[in-house]
Amino acid sequence: MPDAGLAADGSIDYFNEWYPVSFTKDLDKSKPHRFVLLDIPLVIWWDPNAKAWRVFEDVCPHRLVPLSEGRVNQAGMLECGYHGWAFSASGRCEVVPQQGKRDTPRACATAYHAAERQGLLFVLPKPLPPALLTKGGTNPDLAAALAMAVAEEARIPLVPELEEPGGKWLSQDVWRDLPYDWSTLMENVLDSSHVPFTHHVSMSNRNVIGAYDLKLTTPLTEEGFDGLWKTGPRAGKLGPQSTTFKAPCFMKHRLDAKGFASLTVVYAVPMRPGKCRLINRNVLRFGNPVPELIFNLLPPWWWHVSSNVLLEDDQVFLHLGEEELARRRANGLSHSQVCYMPSTADTYVVAFNRWLQRFGGGGPFGGADTQFVEALGARLSRQQLLDRYSQHTESCASCQQGLRQIAAVRGAAAAVRTLAGALAIFCAAVAVAAAAVGAPAAALGSLAAPPPAGVLGVLGSALVRCAEAVAGPLDPSGAGQMLRAAAWAALAAGAAAAVAALEGLRQRFYEGVYPPPRNVSAKD
């Protein structure tokens, strides 16, 4: 039986494959989101009635504006921001305010099959059958369409290990919209030999290189391939690493080392030519509970922010390199004709490109030709390439929450800095005055003298008590107050350091740094 994802000519039908579009924990349920998959603009929105994510084409059937600029209304329908047409879960138009009633099927939004699995929202980018637009459960077309929908969901590319009961796998989840093609990303993550060099300092070491004895362990088919790197990373210190490429967008490395096991899972999601969404899960299983405890304490945004340097290690050269590759291939040359790959280190890169040529039709956007080169567009500036905010933070609910938390803590730290600084100055002034005059009464002036009676007296006593609480018991030498001044100054300095550190952390949500750590490291 042919694979459901294959076109009639045996090559893959990219529009009949499931793609993850987002971690659901990073989606804000209060508003619609735009995402482009295979050049199709999509709107992702939370249906509060069914408590499920919905995915439509991001185009209003009335006058074609993006539905993602609208809202989810009180009735739990997606409402266009232009004239208020409202659409229910299946895409059916329920409200045309200008007519007072819903309109014909032509008024429907195009709905896509979406399913949440393993914390990811997956989309099948072919429109739902019209039968699913019909309400009620007796329509035989509807029953058939629903049965087909269930069968379709069995093809979602999942991480099998995360399905193991009691598997104790922990997933560190990261995503970013990258300024290069999904095929460039897939090549990059299949290519383990770049890691010690590209990611020297940030995660690896270019001085620890072992054999790159990579081999395919299964034949190359339309479904992908498996492979084994017998020596494995860190010059073999961690043991062999196995790899799976499941066409078209899933890749997994697995390493079973002493004390831990790790999976590096990447979904390379094609957005448009030269642009993809990386969805990355670093899945770990530890031999003892301490790392697990620490792992669970960290918020999702921490992993997002921490992954940026690593991603930016490759960002500039992959963006520039893929254009060079496409230009050279536009003359009709194959990948292996324009790239020279004599070593077994490139086994998976070669295999992936063979898959792309034999079964992948060159890619969803038509492969390397002059049109593809044109579609890649002008190269971005370095500043644009390192723009973390537009490539991730702006659309990530977890990072937006992180920014709010950081702003709140930073505000509190700034207040402590100001207050403690003022108190340090006050204590120092009291100490200097006490030492100069040699008597506490003189040091604190009338505040330290017996208070007058009445309201002024009460106020005066309160002020003296406050002053003592801040500056310590009155001390004729001024030494006690000076000690307090030093303590307040230390607190102010600590708070100032916290403000600076939090500002540095906030900055990490916005822009990357250049040059990459490997090029500025003093270590060889």
| Site residues (vs ligand FES, CB under 6 A) | 60, 62-63, 65, 80, 82-85
In the chain, the amino acid numbered 367 is G
**In which residue are the tokens 């403000």 written?**
499
The count of other CB atoms within 10 Å of the CB of residue 301 is 21
How far from 330 is each of 72, 179, 319, 338, 368, CA to CA, in Å? 45, 20, 17, 11, 5
Q: Does 399 bind Fe ion (CB under 5 A)?
A: yes
Burial of residue 271, with CB atoms counted within 10 A of its CB: 0-12 exposed, 13-18 middle, 19 or more buried? buried
63 binds, among Fe ion, ligand FES, none (CB under 5 to 8 A by kind): ligand FES
Task: Select the residue interacting with Fe ion from 44, 72, 145, 396 (CB under 5 A).
Answer: 396
In whole angstroms, how large is the CA radius of gyration of the chain? 31
Q: How far is the CB of 45 from ligand FES (least distance, A)?
A: 14
Q: Which does 65 bind (CB under 5 to 8 A by kind): Fe ion, ligand FES, none?
A: ligand FES
Q: What's the DSSP call for residue 453?
A: S
| CA distance to 102, 103, 281, 329, per residue, from 87 (Å) | 9, 11, 34, 45
Which partner, ligand FES, Fe ion, none, binds residue 396 by CB below 5 to 8 Å per kind? Answer: Fe ion
Q: Using CB under 5 A, which of the segments 27-35, 50-58, 260-268, 397-405 binds Fe ion? A: 397-405
- Secondary element (H or E) of residue 229: strand 224-229
Cα distances (Å, whole numbers) of residue 336 to 301, 322, 396, 509: 40, 14, 38, 38
Residue 306 or 371 having the CB closest to Fe ion = 306
> What is the rounded distance in angstroms from the CA atom of residue 91 to the CA atom of residue 106?
11
- Beta carbon nearer to Fe ion, 68 or 398: 398
Amino acid at 145: A
Instruction: Show contacts with Fe ion in window 292-311 (CB under 5 A).
Output: 304
User: Cα(278)–Cα(184) distance, rounded to whole angstroms?
Assistant: 11
Q: How far is the CB of 82 from ligand FES (least distance, A)?
A: 4
Question: Smallest distance from the beta carbon of 27 to Fe ion, in angstroms?
Answer: 11
Question: Which residue, 78 or 283, is less far from ligand FES as judged by CB?
Answer: 78
CB of 65 to ligand FES, least distance (A): 5
Q: Which is nearer to Fe ion, 336 or 401 (CB)?
A: 401
Pick from 76, 91, 79, 162: nearest CA to 120: 162
- Hey, which residues between 216 and 275 contact Fe ion (CB under 5 A)? none
Residue number, 93 or 255, with CB nearest to ligand FES: 93
Can you tell me the distance from the alpha carbon of 322 to that of 363, in angstroms, rounded to the nearest whole number? 14
- Binding segment for Fe ion (CB under 5 A), chosen from 259-267, 392-400, 436-444, 445-453, is 392-400
Residue 39 Cβ, how far from ligand FES at the closest point, in Å? 21
The verdict on 398 binding Fe ion (CB under 5 A) reads yes
Q: Which does 304 bind (CB under 5 to 8 A by kind): Fe ion, ligand FES, none?
A: Fe ion
Indicate which of ligand FES, Fe ion, none lies near residue 41 (CB less than 5 to 8 Å, by partner kind).
Answer: none
CA pair distance 406, 425, nearest whole angstrom: 28
Q: Of the ranges 63-71, 206-214, 370-378, 390-398, which one interacts with Fe ion (CB under 5 A)?
A: 390-398
CB of 304 to Fe ion, least distance (A): 3
- Closest approach of ligand FES to the CB of residue 499, in Å: 46
Helices (H), 201-299: 289-297
Of ligand FES, Fe ion, none, which one sits near residue 494, judging by CB under 5 to 8 A according to partner kind? none
Q: Which amino acid, residue 11?
A: S
Helix (H, G, I), strand (E, B) or coil at 449: coil
Q: What span, in angstroms and rounded, lies between the C-alpha atoms of 78 and 49?
A: 12
- Nearest approach, Cβ of residue 99 and ligand FES (Å): 11
Q: Minimum CB separation from ligand FES for residue 79, in Å? A: 8
Is 49 exposed, middle or buried, given 0-12, 13-18 or 19+ CB atoms closer than 10 A? exposed
Residue 62's binding partner, choosing from Fe ion, ligand FES, none, with beta-carbon cut-off 5 to 8 A by kind? Answer: ligand FES
Given the complex with ligand FES, which of 60 and 189 has the nearer CB atom? 60
The number of helix segments (H) and strand segments (E) in the chain equals: 15, 17
- Lookup: tokens for 284: 């770990």
Residue 268, token pair as written in the block: 């390379």
60 binds, among ligand FES, Fe ion, none (CB under 5 to 8 A by kind): ligand FES
Report what 76 binds from Fe ion, ligand FES, none; CB cut-off 5-8 Å by kind: none
Q: Least distance in Å: CB of 279 to Fe ion? A: 12
Binding-site partner at residue 399 among ligand FES, Fe ion, none, CB < 5 to 8 Å by type: Fe ion
In the complex, minimum distance from the CB of residue 271 to ligand FES, in angstroms, rounded to a whole number: 24
Nearest to 251 by CA among 274, 283, 273, 219: 283
440 φ/ψ angles, rounded to the nearest 5 degrees: -60, -35
Residues making contact with Fe ion (CB under 5 A): 304, 396, 398-399
